[in-house]
């Protein structure tokens, strides 16, 4: 397992890791949710010949796709090419993608929950760990690899609903009809995720992100009763991993008071909440990641620059900001706008935090 970086005291950390540690960075680091994906022609070219599952299950392909955006743009981090559903492949529920996750045999009863058995990541998804090892060997030192997993509640949504949905009403109904079985399933998903995340760090991931895409479907009481304890258990278990933890409670503006109490280095903020307001609730010990509206990448260049400046201003001049979109990049996005975004963030923030140069 990786030790904490020995250079942290000298300001020599890669900008992404420095920002995650709330230390001054040479510039505000940038990466983009779903940066490896369908907006890139080189991704679409590979995707014509291989299914999404095949790409994730083949280390050479998954490595190549992870590296595609890093070759094209001066990104400050890479994110493993996989899916939140990937570690659940080993549960034997018949996982496919069309294009979102679809399960042949969703979990619909207490008996279904009790029948579930999970296996360690090294057995169930060795190809993912092989991909992480390959990437750790190929990526430059200044471009750390982010490992990730789905948060238990978000995985629960797909496992019970069996497919994507706007309301996930089957999953939410199950919470209320079977609270005990629901908790048991969330616990199982937390156990599986702790093992999966640790295995990624062991293989060379230098940060870990938990995606809670459907956190905002829960009111604060249900979030506290069901989703939060499982997230807390994962984050606590990972405190000894030595890598920064990022938690992204999508549409979670009303949940942030609870999130502020979690053992986490960085919280991802969706585009609906200004970062200054997130910072006020989270306090000075937690960094923020985000949160340009992905739609801003469809604006003319001048308007895009203004929208980026607005996010930077909201983030404030202190350390602890990782620039990102407020959700995944849209497939119709022009890659030239992504290049502009990264250059603009780097240029506007160069050494600002180190030397306090007025903007």
Angle made by CA atoms 100, 175, 188, in degrees to the nearest 5: 70
**Strand, helix or coil at 145?**
strand
Q: Which is nearer to ligand CP3, 26 or 61 (CB)?
A: 61
Alpha helices, DSSP H, located in 110-259:
110-115, 121-124, 126-138, 152-161, 169-177, 179-203, 220-222, 228-237, 256-259
Give the residue closest to ligand CP3 by C-beta: 213
Angle made by CA atoms 337, 343, 345, in degrees to the nearest 5: 100
Nearest to 349, CA basis, from 1, 11, 25: 25
Q: Is 196 a catalytic residue?
A: no
Contact residue for ligand CP3 among 17, 18, 33, 103 (CB under 6 A): 33
Nearest to 27, CA basis, from 72, 98, 75: 75
**Strand, helix or coil at 221?**
helix
Residue 283 CB burial class (10 angstroms; 0-12, 13-18, ≥19)? exposed
Which of 5, 83, 89, 270 does the annotation list as catalytic? 83
Nearest to 296, CA basis, from 326, 251, 323, 270: 326
Nearest to 289, CA basis, from 196, 210, 224, 201: 210
Q: Which is nearer to ligand CP3, 118 or 214 (CB)?
A: 214
Q: Which is nearer to ligand CP3, 44 or 280 (CB)?
A: 44
Q: Which is nearer to ligand CP3, 19 or 145 (CB)?
A: 145
Q: How many CB atoms lie within 10 A of CB 348?
A: 17
Contact residue for ligand CP3 among 23, 42, 46, 47 (CB under 6 A): 47
**Is residue 250 near ligand CP3 by the rule CB under 6 A?**
yes
Contact residue for ligand CP3 among 81, 153, 196, 271 (CB under 6 A): 81
Q: Which is nearer to ligand CP3, 48 or 123 (CB)?
A: 48
Q: Is 272 a catalytic residue?
A: no
Q: Is 277 a catalytic residue?
A: no
Per DSSP bridges, beta strands 95-97 and 101-103 are antiparallel
**Is residue 36 near ligand CP3 by the rule CB under 6 A?**
yes
**Is residue 148 near ligand CP3 by the rule CB under 6 A?**
yes
Q: Which is nearer to ligand CP3, 67 or 282 (CB)?
A: 67
Q: Is 38 a catalytic residue?
A: yes
Contact residue for ligand CP3 among 26, 30, 79, 273 (CB under 6 A): 79
**Is residue 89 near ligand CP3 by the rule CB under 6 A?**
no
Give the N- to C-terminal CA distance of the chain in Å, as an integer.
40
**Is residue 101 near ligand CP3 by the rule CB under 6 A?**
yes
Q: How many CB atoms lie within 10 A of CB 257?
A: 10
Which of 38, 110, 183, 232 does the annotation list as catalytic? 38
Which of 47, 72, 133, 232 does the annotation list as catalytic? 47
**Is residue 333 near ligand CP3 by the rule CB under 6 A?**
no
Contact residue for ligand CP3 among 23, 38, 184, 299 (CB under 6 A): 38
Q: Is 112 a catalytic residue?
A: no
What dihedral do alpha carbons 105, 107, 108, 113 form, nearest 10°? 130
Contact residue for ligand CP3 among 23, 42, 52, 225 (CB under 6 A): 52
Q: Kindly determine how many residues on this chain lie close enough to bind ligand CP3 according to the rule CB under 6 A.
A: 22
What are the catalytic residues? 34, 38, 47, 83, 158
Q: Site residues (CB under 6 A) for ligand CP3?
A: 33-38, 47, 52, 79, 81, 83-84, 97, 99-101, 148, 164, 211, 213, 250, 328
């Amino acid at each position: 397992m990786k030790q904490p970086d020995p250079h942290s005291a000298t300001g020599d950390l890669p900008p992404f890791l420095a920002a995650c540690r709330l230390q001054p960075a040479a510039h505000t680091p940038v990466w983009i949710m779903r940066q490896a994906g369908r907006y890139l022609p080189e991704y679409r070219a590979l995707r014509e010949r291989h299914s999404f599952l095949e790409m994730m299950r083949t280390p050479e392909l998954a490595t190549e796709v992870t590296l595609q955006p890093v070759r094209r743009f001066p990104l400050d981090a890479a994110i493993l090419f996989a899916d939140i559903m990937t570690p659940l492949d080993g549960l034997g529920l018949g996982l496919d993608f069309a294009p979102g996750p679809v399960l042949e045999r969703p979990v619909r009863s207490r008996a279904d929950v009790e029948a579930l058995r999970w296996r360690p990541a090294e057995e169930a998804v060795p190809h993912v760990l092989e991909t992480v090892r390959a990437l750790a060997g190929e990526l430059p030192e200044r471009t750390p690899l982010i490992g990730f997993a789905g948060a238990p509640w978000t995985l629960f949504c797909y496992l019970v609903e069996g497919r994507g949905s706007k309301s996930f009403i089957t999953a939410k109904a199950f919470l209320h009809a079977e609270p005990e079985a629901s908790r048991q399933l969330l616990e199982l998903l937390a156990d599986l995720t702790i093992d999966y995340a640790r295995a990624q760090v062991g293989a060379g991931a230098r940060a870990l992100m938990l995606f809670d895409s459907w956190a905002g479907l829960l009111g604060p009481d249900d979030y506290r009763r069901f989703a939060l304890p499982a997230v807390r258990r994962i984050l606590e278990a990972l405190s000894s991993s030595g890598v920064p933890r990022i938690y992204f409670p999508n549409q979670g503006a009303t949940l942030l008071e609870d999130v502020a109490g979690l053992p986490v280095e960085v919280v991802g903020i969706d585009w609906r909440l200004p970062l200054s307001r997130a910072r006020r609730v989270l306090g000075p010990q937690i960094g923020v990641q985000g949160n340009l509206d992905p739609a801003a990448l469809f604006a003319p260049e001048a308007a895009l620059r203004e929208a980026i400046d607005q996010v930077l201003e909201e983030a404030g001049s202190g350390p602890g900001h990782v620039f990102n979109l407020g959700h995944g990049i849209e497939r119709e996005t022009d890659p030239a706008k992504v290049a502009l975004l990264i250059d603009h963030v780097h240029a506007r923030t160069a050494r600002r935090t180190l030397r306090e140069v007025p903007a």
